[in-house]
Amino acid sequence: MNLNSLSKIRAQAPLVHNITNYVVMNNTANALLAIGASPVMAHSIHEVEAMVQLSQALVINIGTLSDAWIESMALAAQTAARLNIPIVLDPVGCGATEYRTRTALKLLRTARLSVIRGNASEIQALAYGSGNTKGVDSIHTPQDAFDAARELAQTYGCVVSVSGPVDLVVCCDRAAHISNGHPLMTRVTGMGCTSSALTGAFLAVEPDIFNAACLTMVVMGVAGELAAKIAVGPGSFQMHFLDVLHGINESDILQRAQVTWS
Amino acid sequence: MNLNSLSKIRAQAPLVHNITNYVVMNNTANALLAIGASPVMAHSIHEVEAMVQLSQALVINIGTLSDAWIESMALAAQTAARLNIPIVLDPVGCGATEYRTRTALKLLRTARLSVIRGNASEIQALAYGSGNTKGVDSIHTPQDAFDAARELAQTYGCVVSVSGPVDLVVCCDRAAHISNGHPLMTRVTGMGCTSSALTGAFLAVEPDIFNAACLTMVVMGVAGELAAKIAVGPGSFQMHFLDVLHGINESDILQRAQVTWS
Amino acid sequence: MNLNSLSKIRAQAPLVHNITNYVVMNNTANALLAIGASPVMAHSIHEVEAMVQLSQALVINIGTLSDAWIESMALAAQTAARLNIPIVLDPVGCGATEYRTRTALKLLRTARLSVIRGNASEIQALAYGSGNTKGVDSIHTPQDAFDAARELAQTYGCVVSVSGPVDLVVCCDRAAHISNGHPLMTRVTGMGCTSSALTGAFLAVEPDIFNAACLTMVVMGVAGELAAKIAVGPGSFQMHFLDVLHGINESDILQRAQVTWS
């Protein structure tokens, strides 16, 4: 992993364009600011092309969909692909409803993405269609998640980043298992969405997509561990997490990273 | 009150589907996660039916309305009613504008609700139409609020939960006055909306609707008191409130609950 | 500056109607509550007229635009102007996309505003059209910002409030430079939007528009300094900022205000 991406983000403050869900917009923007990037949110069909052109990364998150937003997401993705701007897709709730699965698949086919970042259920639903999951709480084995991620990576030529107790980052010929993180991360809304947004920030400064995706999950996990050490519960965890992201350095990451490459 | 609803929420992590306002989505999701439930937000007409089917409760909050959302709220309510999934309505700002009053009444007539949860002004506007209030700051006597709540409970066959300095929970033949809480709760946006969301979580595990509504207001009030003890102002209050919700147990509630039944 | 506006806000709790962006709605509402005002958010074309009529100030923020919202913003502005209710416009991202610049100019021409509150790039784009900026990160000299602000103030007969390392408040014949604030304010999303919302609260109680705009920026800056003294990073800063706003008094402001009048 090229740890100096972190200082590159802080030096360059890349603009990350987010078309994301209403629930996490504030957290997403704050996490991007805390790590040193510059967030922008814009979803109107009349301005997404212009905004993508100013940006160094595009993050699309389908957490609270409606038809007008889907149209804008597709146009933004096409624009970013044309300009070689890296795209992250967070298929929130994919598999829970047909509408979300269909939308995520449509976006996958609209433009070549750099990274798909979701949880195991979402990645499975995306890989195998909507038939194989039962809502948002489906439990899969690590091997199931790996197989689905590899399938997606091969079909769409992208990197797949799967969050869970052990995070998994997969591309066609490489994989990493990342054991950092803390259970409190599941008690705060939008930590997955934050991972997706930060993946955009790392992609903006790091040309190796697989490395950018891995480093993001390591930074998320290490920041989660450091925040959990001083948190009383999910409220204070959320606050400390932003403080930690703002102050984290390469030595924190080196000391705590738990990555297995394969 | 059946205090073991709290441990049931934590054991079962019921999925609570929220169609709520933009202002509080993040808080709502975090409060549900903190208490142990599993929140989901979805508002498109193309997916609310599917999402309701996965859920154990539906919470509709009219705080930031538009026509497309109203259509989805009605469809979600119909779906939940058909499937016997409990529904909570939070008529935010009812009485402040005709649009909100009309929408809340429409939803009341669309499907049988389990609980209406609002403040005294909203409950009065809902009970007597839009003619009797003067904006959002109208002051009513406790008796006014009780009469309006009983009227609504009788007309619509539901439980009415009215937040205020003393909370009031009313159904056709029972009532409870709950004196827990703290003034800082009025200095943080969305505490009422949080009550509505948590009412959904308690309804998901507790078949006695009146008890579920009472217990929710007791938990809110006790958590507010505990958070206020360590808060400096509304910013830290909001954070501590989530920590307290996460850690609260039956003994905290038993020790502090101030309920008068009638 | 008439410092007793602060106690007037706390005594009168003016209703401030916000039509603002999704990212900051929660912060905006909480900042208004913390200072003692009463926030309301409503954006449907069917209720903005009614809501404006109940309000003592209207704040329009174009941070996450779409066509339906623009229509409501224009109607709300017309209604407020007709009723002599003060209007604040926050032209977020003006100059970054043609859509935002056009919308801000449209609103400026729709109704006489009391205050335009933006950063230097936005104010320049608004003063000179969309041709002179390069995205959201353009850097301007203080003199550039002053000239653009004066130009807008003269053209539209309003006060222009420009946030930056040194804040600038300009009307046709007066100007103030305010050197309060802290760099952490740029690492939390929506601090500018909070300034705009609080400007609305001060306008609701203070007839001198220039003074209201100046006092807002002083209060923001002083609160930022006090919060930064106890913050570890942007997460805790955001929390302390709300606590400080809630507790701030005239003596804090007098002791720390750094204003140069010209």
Q: What is the interface pTM, i.e. ipTM, of the complex? A: 0.95
Q: Whole-angstrom Cα distance, residue C98 to residue C102?
A: 6
Tell me the average pLDDT across C140-163: 94
Cβ neighbours of C19 in B, within 8 Å: none
Instruction: Determine which of A26, A65, A66 to mutate to test the interface with B (most B C-beta atoms within 10 Å).
Output: A66
Interval B86-100: pLDDT, tens: 999 999 999 999 999
Q: Which of A26, A93, A233 comes nearest B26 by C-beta?
A: A26
Contact A40 C64 (CB under 8 A): no
Q: Whole-angstrom Cα distance, residue C130 to residue C213?
A: 26
Structure tokens at A77: 């993705």
Chains A, B: CB contacts under 8 A, how many? 95
Contact A236 B241 (CB under 8 A): no
Question: How far apart are the CA of C175 and the nearest CA of chain A, in angstroms?
Answer: 30
Which residues are C176's β-sheet partners? C169, C261
B18 Ramachandran zone, left/alpha/beta (phi>0; psi -120 to 50): beta
Question: How far apart are the CA of B156 and the nearest CA of chain A, in angstroms?
Answer: 31
Q: Which chains have 3+ CB pairs within 8 A of C? A: A, B
Cβ neighbours of C13 in B, within 8 Å: 137
Quick check: pTM over 0.80?
Answer: yes
Q: Which of B40, B43, B50 comes nearest A66 by C-beta?
A: B43
Q: Whole-angstrom Cα distance, residue A153 to residue A174?
A: 10
Kindly indicate the confidence band of residue B141, based on its pLDDT and cuts at 50, 70 and 90: confident
Contact C26 B21 (CB under 8 A): no
Instruction: Determine which of C17, C21, C232, C242 to mutate to test the interface with B (most B C-beta atoms within 10 Å).
Output: C242
Q: Give me the pLDDT at residue A141, please.
A: 81
Phi, psi of A13 (to 5 degrees): 45, 60
> Amino acid identity of B105?
L
Question: How far apart are the CA of C232 and the nearest CA of chain B, in angstroms?
Answer: 14
Residues of chain A with pLDDT under 50: 132-137
Cβ neighbours of B41 in A, within 8 Å: 21-23, 63-64
Q: Give me the pLDDT at residue B139, please.
A: 61
A181 Ramachandran zone, left/alpha/beta (phi>0; psi -120 to 50): left
Kindly indicate the confidence band of residue C142, based on its pLDDT and cuts at 50, 70 and 90: confident
Instruction: Determine which of C40, C194, C245 to mutate to test the interface with B (most B C-beta atoms within 10 Å).
Output: C40
Contact A30 C189 (CB under 8 A): yes
Q: Which residues contact A200 (CB under 8 A, 6 or more apart)?
A: A16, A18, A32, A37, A57, A58, A59, A86, A88
Q: Which of C26, C50, C54 comes nearest B23 by C-beta?
A: C26
Whether residue C221 has pLDDT greater than 50:
yes
Which is nearest to A192 in space by CA: A59, A35, A86? A59
Q: Give me the pLDDT at residue A2, please.
A: 78
Which residues are B162's β-sheet partners? B118, B168
Q: Which of A40, A43, A246 comes nearest C136 by C-beta?
A: A40
Cβ neighbours of C64 in B, within 8 Å: none
Cβ neighbours of C183 in A, within 8 Å: none
C257 Ramachandran zone, left/alpha/beta (phi>0; psi -120 to 50): beta
Query: Which of A52-66, B155-169, C124-138 is predicted least confidently?
Result: C124-138
Q: From C12, which residue of chain B is nearest by alpha-carbon distance?
A: B137
Cβ neighbours of B236 in C, within 8 Å: 239-240, 243
Q: Whole-angstrom Cα distance, residue A56 to residue A74?
A: 17
Cβ neighbours of C66 in B, within 8 Å: none
Q: Give me the pLDDT at residue B2, please.
A: 78
Kindly indicate the confidence band of residue C33, based on its pLDDT and cuts at 50, 70 and 90: very high
When the pLDDT of each residue in chain C is averaged and rounded to a whole number, the result is: 95
Q: Give me the pLDDT at residue B131, please.
A: 52
Interval B202-261: pLDDT, tens: 999 999 999 999 999 999 999 999 999 999 999 999 999 999 999 999 999 999 999 999
Cβ neighbours of C99 in A, within 8 Å: 44, 46-47, 50
Which is nearest to B71 in space by CA: B98, B43, B91? B43
Q: Which of C190, C231, C234 comes nearest A34 by C-beta?
A: C234
Contact B190 C26 (CB under 8 A): yes
When the pLDDT of each residue in chain B is averaged and rounded to a whole number, the result is: 95
Interval C38-67: pLDDT, tens: 999 999 999 999 999 999 999 999 999 999
Q: Give me the pLDDT at residue B134, please.
A: 45
Contact B15 A238 (CB under 8 A): no
Contact C189 A39 (CB under 8 A): yes
Cβ neighbours of A185 in B, within 8 Å: none
Question: How far apart are the CA of C243 and the nearest CA of chain B, in angstroms?
Answer: 4
Q: Whole-angstrom Cα distance, residue C224 to residue C245?
A: 9
Structure tokens at C159: 């006060």
Which is nearest to B226 in space by CA: B262, B188, B192, B256? B256
Contact A47 C65 (CB under 8 A): yes
Which residues of chain A approach chain C closer than 8 Å at the C-beta? Answer: 13, 15, 22, 25-26, 29-30, 33-34, 38-44, 46-47, 50-51, 54, 68, 238-247
Q: From B10, which residue of chain A is nearest by alpha-carbon distance?
A: A187
Structure tokens at B228: 């206020």
Cβ neighbours of A26 in B, within 8 Å: 26
Q: pLDDT above 70 covers what percent of chain C? A: 96
Question: How far apart are the CA of B115 and the nearest CA of chain A, in angstroms?
Answer: 24
Q: Whole-angstrom Cα distance, residue C128 to residue C122?
A: 10
Instruction: Determine which of C32, C54, C66, C241 to mutate to test the interface with B (most B C-beta atoms within 10 Å).
Output: C54
Contact B30 A93 (CB under 8 A): no
DSSP state of A132: G
Tell me the average pLDDT across B175-191: 97
Chains B, C: CB contacts under 8 A, how many? 95
Whether residue C244 has pLDDT greater than 70:
yes
Tell me the average pLDDT across B23-33: 97
Half-sphere exposure of A77 (CA within 13 A, CB side): 27
Phi, psi of C176 (to 5 degrees): -140, 140
Q: Give me the pLDDT at residue C2, please.
A: 78
Q: Give me the pLDDT at residue A139, please.
A: 61
Structure tokens at B133: 């209030």
Q: Which of B43, B44, B242 comes nearest A233 by C-beta?
A: B242
Q: From A240, which residue of chain B is nearest by alpha-carbon distance?
A: B239
Q: Whole-angstrom distance between the N-terminal and C-terminal Cα of chain C?
A: 14
Question: How far apart are the CA of C24 and the nearest CA of chain A, in angstroms?
Answer: 6
Kindly indicate the confidence band of residue C130, based on its pLDDT and cuts at 50, 70 and 90: low
Whether residue C135 has pLDDT greater than 50:
no
Q: Give me the pLDDT at residue B152, please.
A: 97
Contact B40 A187 (CB under 8 A): no
Question: How far apart are the CA of B4 and the nearest CA of chain C, in angstroms?
Answer: 33
Whether residue C9 has pLDDT greater than 50:
yes
Q: Whole-angstrom Cα distance, residue B48 to residue B91?
A: 19
Question: How far apart are the CA of C121 and the nearest CA of chain B, in angstroms?
Answer: 28
Helix intervals (H) in chain C: 5-12, 25-35, 48-54, 67-82, 98-110, 120-128, 142-156, 191-205, 209-230, 234-247, 250-256
Question: How far apart are the CA of B189 and the nearest CA of chain C, in angstroms?
Answer: 6
Q: Give the other-Cβ count within 10 Å of C183's Cβ.
A: 9
